Structure formats: C-alpha cells, structure tokens
Homo-oligomer: A and B are copies of this chain.
C-alpha cells in the first residue's frame, strides 16, 4: 500500500483541523523567527566568525531543513506566496553555502573546512544532509521548484562518491541516522537508482565489525568521542552500530536515531523486498511496544542520553520520551503499516499522535516540550532539573539549544493528512480517524467525526459513476466493541489484521457509519514495570488521561481510584481547545493520625474526593503545576 498523496487529502474539521491550523498560522512563523534569532539562518550565509555570538552547532542545518519541509507540506494544501518567498530566500543562502564538489554543511563551512567527514560518529553531517534531502523533495513536490532538489542531488552524488563498499571509498555510515530514509525519498523523487543503493549500503553496513568508528578514530586520533557528561567513549549500541540490524534482538540506544534508522530500514525492505530487513523491523518493533514504550507512545526512558535503556525500565518522573522520538515512531509505524497491512502499527501510530506527540506543543502553537514525562512535581523540576537540564520541565519552552522537536512537530502536523489514508490501486485504507476529505481515482471519501472525543465516524462516498473497490477501516486495538453500518443498514465486513474490509460497488452518497464504543478504561502496566505496579492509567479510546494540580490539588500521588468505579465523560468545547474530560470519584489518603510523625503504622484511611482527568496531550496549558498519569489503584485481590 502507498501512503496518500498529501495534495489529495484535506483535513476539514475537528481536533486535527484546530491543531493543524494553528501549526500553519502560528507555529511556522514562530519557528522561522527562532531560527533567525538564534543564528541558524545566518550560518548558511557564512557570516559567522569565531568569537561572534550564536556559535553554530553541528545539527543546526537539520533545524532549518525541517522547517523548510514543514512549510513545503503546508504549501501543498495552502499555497502562500509569503511563505514561499521566505523559503526561497533560505534556499538562496543554502545554494551559496554549497561547495564546488557538492558538499554542504554550514557548520564545517564556517568552523573548519578541513575536518569534514572525519568524525561520523559524533558529528551530524550525514544527518543534516538527510534532513535537507527530505526538505528538498517536499519543496519540489509542493511547488515544482527543483533548485533545492538539484542542490541536494549534487550533495547526494558527492556523498555517494565518498561512501560505499567500493574500493577507494570510506566504508562509513552516520552516527545519527536519517539519511537512509531521505535517500529513498530522493530516489523516489528522481528515480536515480544510486540513491537507493547508497541507502541500502548505509542500512546494511551499519554495525559490521570491525567498526568503521574505530577505524575513523585511528585515522584521526583525538577527534571528539565525548558523550555528554559521561566522560566515556560512546558505546556503539547508543547509535545502533553494535551489530548489523538483522542481528539486533532489542531496540537500543538513542531513541530518535533508532526509529529514524528503522524507518530507513523499512523503506529499503519495502523497495528491495529484502525479508531479512523487514523481519528485523518487526522484531525491534515488538521489543519496543511490548517492553520499552510508555503508555503515551513515548519512547526513550533515560534522560541523560535520550535513549532506550532496558526492558520494562519506564520511570515516569524522569521519563525522557522525547517528542521527536514519538514522531519518529510514527514515521516508522506508518511505513510498517503500509508494508505489512497490519493494523497494530496504526495503533502505535495513533497512540503516539494523540498523546506523546501532541503533548509536545502548546495549544497556542508557540511552546514546546522536548521530553514528555508521565509524572511531574513542578517543585522537583523547578528546583532540581529545570535550571540545569533545559530539556526537562513542567512548562513548555519557546525554543531549545537543541531544537529538533519544534520543527519536527511542525512538519508532522503539516503533513498529517498523508497518514490518514493509504491506497492500493482503487482500494483505500482508512488508517486514522478525523474529519477530512480524500480524493482518489475519481472517488471522494469525506470523513466527519469528533473523534477522538466522539465515538461516531461517518464516511461519505462520492463518485460520478459507481465504483468497485475495497474500503478498509482500521479497527483500533483499544476498541473491544464496534459497529459498522452502510446507509444505516447492516454491513458485511471481513476482518483481517485489524482492518474491517468492505468490498462492494460504491455509489455516490453511500455512507459508512462507524461506532467505536469508547468506555473509560483503567489500564495497568505489565508487572515487570516496577514504576507502575499498584497503579492504573485512565484511557478512553486512543487518549491517555492525566491528573493536573489545577483540577485536583497538590499531592496527586495521595489519590487512589477504585478500579470498578465509573467515570463520566464530559465534552466541553471551551475547555483546553475543546476536549472530553473525565469526572469521577477518588479516595485521598488521610493526613490524620500522623501527629508529628512522618511514618506511622499502616492504616488505609481515605477521604472521598472528586477528580477530573484531562487528556495527557493537553497538560501544562494552564497554571504550572503537578501532573500524574499513573494513579494509585485500590488493589484488593479478586
């Protein structure tokens, strides 16, 4: 199956429309100003000299690239001359920054022209190249303008001349993956086989022994090998280079790198038909979702080095769960969904979208979380963390020194439509629910729904002439009961891999009505997750809920929920941009009987309290305060 062509999808109303509109009208310009103010745009102008403020960082090109890509996707649906002029002006500078031989990296250009390609492990040349390639393809597809595409083809040709298995080339691969999936995009846009071959080389060379990273250190002794504040050589598992991907049993290392890499692996597997690569993707997906993923779809549990640590280690207050990692999970899962047709990948994608990603941006589109913890005591963050680790926090920030997340969420939101639908010939698959229109081979599907708040999704079929095709509807894994009707009557659907497949001759005006029963479900984690035992999380549909201090007072961990208690679902169009919140009963541990003691003999005494839970994605949009996803449960044996 192929993802929907973005130009054929319009998000028309509801939850995603609100968020996408703000992204287009507020976030894109906010981010442009940040890129400008922090010197990222000037670096391409090559004006920076040693000693000047805004010293360039080796990942800056990627921030600019992702912003261009976000603008490009936006221009597909919303042509806008001003945005296009802004992008073109940046491309002017990029063009001037390209070297004669095609090399293009603003950091090395202004910092040290002699050192390029000497430190693939730490420096991000190939990573930045990949993001610029993605931007180039997107901007070409959006506008038909091929200047950046040509720039990046020249750069890709240069890279292809430097790296590869052939004699005389360096057998290197990036320390931060990204170029693998970007080269496949470039191949798809240009048809140049060498880009696909180079991507396959990067995918399969990675992790072979002896390590290229050892070799480059030997060739250029003294290059930076310092891993943050750890004082150690970066272990190669951190960059997924400890073994070839086909030999990896667990998803390891920096979570964004791991998932960008697997996206590229999936791409190569899809095009080349290499089953060993696809099996590696399936195996590592299984490890991630069964042992290493937060209930929010967030991944990467260890703040210091932004990485997966080990099975079932999912601390809540110190969760890293980087916004970019959840976005990367969507990239990977959407590919796997299209390759395998298995709806479980859609479930993971949907979970990340509704929770661990959208928590990364404020409702007004101007502030961002880098990490997305599942429990916050504002006081703890304020005193212990915020001052020193700007990535952590209880309050979103306008920008970051390492600003990967803001433009990443922008490009996701401006391209969201392409994830909604997939096609295979005349057949259409509905992957995500949200009010939208999709045009495909003379057919128009019009989804109308207040999903994820409402349980009903209507899909209207429009066509000039009756058309036989299969419409497949993803039945989410969280959904234990659903109904499907067509034109109000019974519908014979076949179920396969998490999809309800309806094959028939469709007529203009046919309407599918989906009803997903969405009770409030109390979830529990696997007992090996030591941080969550004795606790439950509230979910409804794909939405994870949390408690905020604003609604429930301080000391959220003193609240207990009876698993059998019911919660009311209240949709409020004025609340947090419009959402369904949960209202119900909890029990608050009594503070009485302690006198002057901090510890006393056990007695489970509670006071009944009303609580209100809000969608996790919308936390920290009011007064700063505490937040909690995993709530203490009353745990009587059954």
Contact = CB atoms under 8 A, between A and B. Distances in A.
A231 interface: yes
Interface of A: 229-232, 286, 289-291, 293, 295, 302, 304, 309-310, 313, 377, 379-380, 383-384, 387-388, 521-531, 533-537, 555-558, 560, 563, 587-591, 594, 596-606, 632-638
B558 A524 contact: no
A530 B558 CA distance: 7
8 contacts: A232-B387, A377-B530, A527-B558, A527-B588, A530-B555, A533-B632, A560-B635, A563-B603
Contacts of A589: 527, 533
B563 A602 contact: yes
B591 A526 contact: yes
Contacts of A533: 557-558, 560, 589, 632
User: How often does this chain occur in the complex, in copies?
Assistant: 2
Given A302-B384, A524-B599, A603-B638, 20 more contacts: A232-B388, A289-B598, A310-B379, A522-B601, A522-B602, A523-B600, A524-B603, A526-B598, A528-B558, A530-B556, A531-B557, A533-B557, A533-B560, A533-B632, A534-B534, A534-B633, A534-B635, A537-B599, A604-B638, A605-B638
A604 B635 contact: yes
A523 B599 contact: yes
A525 B598 CA distance: 6
A598 to B, nearest CB: 5
A600 B524 contact: yes
| A309, A527, A634: most-surrounded residue (chain B CB, <10 A) | A527
Contacts of A290: 596-598
A380 B302 CA distance: 10
Contacts of A557: 527, 530-531, 533
A429 B233 CA distance: 59
A635 B634 contact: yes
Nearest to A557: B530
A604 B522 CA distance: 11
Contacts of A384: 302, 304, 309
Nearest to A525: B599
Contacts of A536: 602
A384 B534 CA distance: 25
Contacts of A383: 309-310
A237 to B, nearest CB: 11
